[in-house]
Structure 1
Amino acid sequence: MVNTNSVLSSILFSQTIDWNIKQFFNSTSIKSPFELKRIGKAITRRKDQMAVEDDKQYKRITIKTNCGGVFVRDEVLGKDIKTKNQYYVKAGQLAVSKIDARNGAFGVVPLEADGAIITGNFWVYDVDPEIANIDYLILLLSSNVFVQAWQDCSNGSGNRLYLQEDKFLNYKIPLPPILKQNQIIMAYNQLLNKATNLECEAINLEKDLRKSVFDSLGIKMKKKSVSASMLNTVRFQNIRQWGYDKIAIDFPYSFEKYKGHSLSSNPSWLKEIYRGKSPKYQQHGKRIILNQKCNRINNIDLKYAKTVNELWFSKIPCNKLTQINDIVINSTGEGTLGRASLIASDEHVGLAYDSHMLLLRVNLNEIDPLLFVYLFNSPLGQRQVDLYKSAQATKQTELGIENTKRIRFPLPPLAIQKSISNFIEKETLQIGKLHEEATEFYQKAKIEFEEAIFDE
């Protein structure tokens, strides 16, 4: 029986990095110490057709690219579904997108998607358990060695390459005896379990760190109060932003040790705050500019930076370029809005930042910038980002300078701040080491699997 909730199903896909056919150029045949057999020997296409009824509710799935797996996309009434003749899927089946298979759009149908419906653009297959272990098959299909096979089995023009089912089913893959497959997967899962345990340890350490910091600052979660009335009142003096979600929904935190202040209410905290400039990009330029992707939550990743025109860059005043202890904040866009990072490395000094980012320079005699960034990225800071963000006419979510200055934190005297900041730095270092060790086990599991299957 297929266990679609296995460690492999839930973690493998999230660890696949940049699964992109374009990185492979030379078609090479698969080599393996095991017998090569047709994929079609292990899987059988299912076309369980059904008619969509207007008054019934239906689940629909999505198959993410880059080996992202299969998920329930939504649940809708039949009357809202235009294509009435569809197919239903079962948990444990192999699901493939005929359009995006070459980009890693395949995976196992999870239990929560059992009975979901699909159009003809998605294919599902039963996997014969006597011939192939489903986890083995997914690992094989997502391996670097197999990437070229998806390209070989896809035809079309431009970006619209469709998987040709006959070619796919006739493609030969290493299929050792099922007992050997199970042994290989067992070894893989042992390494994966080590990685999972390390990730869980890191997550628990992050929770403990947040609790310690919040306790030190007297930040407490309010007890939820249930109102029996449909009509609620609020004091005008407590209103900070218009909107039902910003007025009727109570702010969930209370400050019980130190009074909460913002950059607006305590101007001495703030030295300077700037919005970035709209860049003039130039391919292969000598200067780079930070963008939202570079801001990874207290971590600047320059691989996402773009190059800009030298003359354009030279017109930016030096005092507006990044300096040590500056804070960069993403000020625009859902998903990345509110991320904050501290400039703490020389390689991140002297950089420009685009118009979707803010640069905040605090008074170091009153504020420890690392603690400020930690609190800004915490649920306390991010809840306030949600409260104060606004939607422009373009529907692009915006935080903005004035709203950033309204976010409140309970900060003690500087000496206490520095003590808490040192604790954060020490614990964050340990958390980072755990994540690194987990990544090493993920990579080792993948490498050892491919070494066991292919002649490397």
Structure 2
Amino acid sequence: MPTETAFKYLNEVRFMTMSNWSVGAILSDKVLYKDGFKLEPIGNLIIRNREKEILEDDKAYKQVTIKLYGKGVIQRSDELILGKDIGTKNQFRISEGQFIMSKIDARNGAFGIVPAELEGAITTQDFLSYNINTEKILPEFFNLITGTKHFAELCQKASSGTTGRQRVDEKAFLGFRIPVPHLDIQKKIFERYDSAIKRAEALEEDSINQHHQLITWVKSKLGINQTNINRKKGFNIINFKNLKRWDTDFLFGTESQLHSKYDLIEYGQIFKALRNGISARNYSNEGVRFIRVSDVKFNSLDDKDLRYINKYDESDLLKKSTLLITRKGTVGQAFFLKEENQLTASSEIFIISIDESLIMGDYLAELNSFDFIQKQYEEKYTGTIMPSLSQQRLKEVRIPLPPMSVQREIVAEIHKLKSKINSLKEQKSALLIDASKQFESAIFNID
């Protein structure tokens, strides 16, 4: 029966099958899954893990976090944490292959299977972990079902009701019934899904290899070589006027020196004009587009979240052949605007007019994404939480300056390979979407 007709008729529900008192939960549970599969309460498929761990001060532990929307179970931080630095001493030990969920974020799809690298990790009581009855359901199949948006909707219903609770009610969760085909059918459904995922992963690996080839080719074409000079360690006296940053990486780390078979030229020598954008104004539904730092990617603009302003001066509008470089937050993202358009830019972005008789705007913007340019930004900006770059320090960044013919060749090759990489990424995304749709179509009443 289609979902949209479920609420038009009188329904009878056996009391023993009710997972909670929500009308939405009762009715949606009747129509969500396709006919033909045996429905089993989750409580029949998993058993609560109650292996307790009393933390010791001098012992190191792995902690756990669960990404939202079925994105996986991972270690909370790269470093192990000593027991003395963990406030809650009574915790639970988890094992590889267990199903784990967050009480707080279960309504947002915070489920997953514990990976091998988290064997023996610890969790608080805000995480519920379970051993899976593999005689009834495959862990991979169970993980797929519980990772879908449809299942997350059930969990939202389990944590809804008159009290508006945010935490999932474990009893209600265990009372949900899910389709449990024969193990052979589960295996076939999962293998079809897994095959698509592996093809997507192969595309991702191909795109990464293409990107590495691009970097290697450009560096070879320019004859790029970087050497690192270790700054003097131990007790040092530094003149205050020479301090650019306060962090130890700057004071005692390494300083890179860039070499190329072509002349290295400072940005200040190729900039004709340099200014900051305008301060953020009240956004509007119309007017001219306001470009923020988050909009500027490597020689592209992100159009996912457009903002507009209608109070500006004509001088605030960007002209064609303008280079944009982010100066605050994500420092060093660049975009070259070829055509004049109705655009303005944030005060956290540099607006630059370049000498196009010396350098191509696309060449300069494209090379900004390479490590030998990004490394210079890292050495020149100030601040660690919110990095910031001054106009003067930006002018000191150096870039190889080959003849125009070589610049055009490099830009053409970059665009060709970037197009191929983007195509691979689009194919990967399409495969992932199709894999999820196929799985959900086999299980859920969504056709």
Q: TM-score, normalised by structure 1?
A: 0.83
Distance 1:444 1:339 in 2: 33
The amino acid of 1:57's aligned partner reads: A
Q: 2:436 maps to which residue?
A: 446
Instruction: Report the more deviating stretch, 190-199 or 358-367.
Output: 358-367
2:206 to 201, 208, 222: 201
**By how many angstroms is 1:305 displaced?**
2.3
Contact map agreement 2:101 2:112 (CA 8 A) in 1: yes
1:72 aligns with 2:89: no
Report SS of the residue matched to 2:409: helix
Report SS of the residue matched to 2:69: coil
Contact map agreement 2:25 2:157 (CA 8 A) in 1: no
Segments of 5+ residues of structure 1 without an aligned counterpart are 1-23
1:53-77 deviations in Å (ceiling 9; x for gaps): 1111111111122333221113211
1:31 to 30, 33, 38: 33
Distance 1:359 1:26 in 2: 58
Equivalent runs, 1:222-301 vs 2, <5 Å:
222=227, 231=234, 241=244, 244-246=248-250, 248-252=252-256, 254-264=258-268, 266=269, 269-301=270-302
Contact map agreement 2:66 2:72 (CA 8 A) in 1: yes
Could you say what the CA RMSD is over the residues aligned between the two structures, in angstroms?
3.0
Contact map agreement 1:37 1:172 (CA 8 A) in 2: yes
Report SS of the residue matched to 1:120: coil
Report SS of the residue matched to 1:303: coil
Task: Give the number of aligned pairs.
Answer: 415
**By how many angstroms is 1:169 displaced?**
0.8
**By how many angstroms is 1:221 displaced?**
3.9
Q: 1:104 maps to which residue?
A: 109
Report SS of the residue matched to 2:62: strand
- Deviation beyond 4 Å, 4+ runs, structure 1: 24-27, 156-160, 224-227, 229-236, 239-244
- C-alpha change, 1:247 and 1:84, in structure 2 (3 Å) is closer
1:108-141 deviations in Å (ceiling 9; x for gaps): 2222222111111111111122222222222212
- C-alpha change, 1:342 and 1:446, in structure 2 (3 Å) is farther
Question: Which of 1 and 2 has greater Rg?
Answer: 2
1:335-381 deviations in Å (ceiling 9; x for gaps): x33222333577xx321222232223322221112221222111112
Report SS of the residue matched to 1:341: strand
1:247-292 deviations in Å (ceiling 9; x for gaps): 543344531302322213x2xx112223222222245344431222
2:402 to 409, 412, 421: 412
Contact map agreement 2:204 2:428 (CA 8 A) in 1: yes
Identity across matched positions, percent: 28
- C-alpha change, 1:328 and 1:54, in structure 2 (3 Å) is same
**By how many angstroms is 1:191 displaced?**
1.2
Q: TM-score, normalised by structure 2?
A: 0.84
Distance 1:205 1:157 in 2: 54
Distance 1:376 1:99 in 2: 42
Q: 2:136 maps to which residue?
A: 131
Q: 2:125 maps to which residue?
A: 120
Report SS of the residue matched to 1:302: coil
Report SS of the residue matched to 1:71: strand
Contact map agreement 1:220 1:255 (CA 8 A) in 2: yes
Contact map agreement 1:232 1:248 (CA 8 A) in 2: no
1:341 aligns with 2:344: no
Report SS of the residue matched to 1:214: helix
- C-alpha change, 1:409 and 1:248, in structure 2 (3 Å) is farther
Q: 2:383 maps to which residue?
A: 391
**By how many angstroms is 1:202 displaced?**
1.1
Contact map agreement 2:226 2:372 (CA 8 A) in 1: no
Q: 1:59 maps to which residue?
A: 62
Distance 2:198 2:378 in 1: 36
Distance 2:353 2:97 in 1: 53
Contact map agreement 1:389 1:403 (CA 8 A) in 2: yes
- C-alpha change, 1:67 and 1:27, in structure 2 (3 Å) is farther
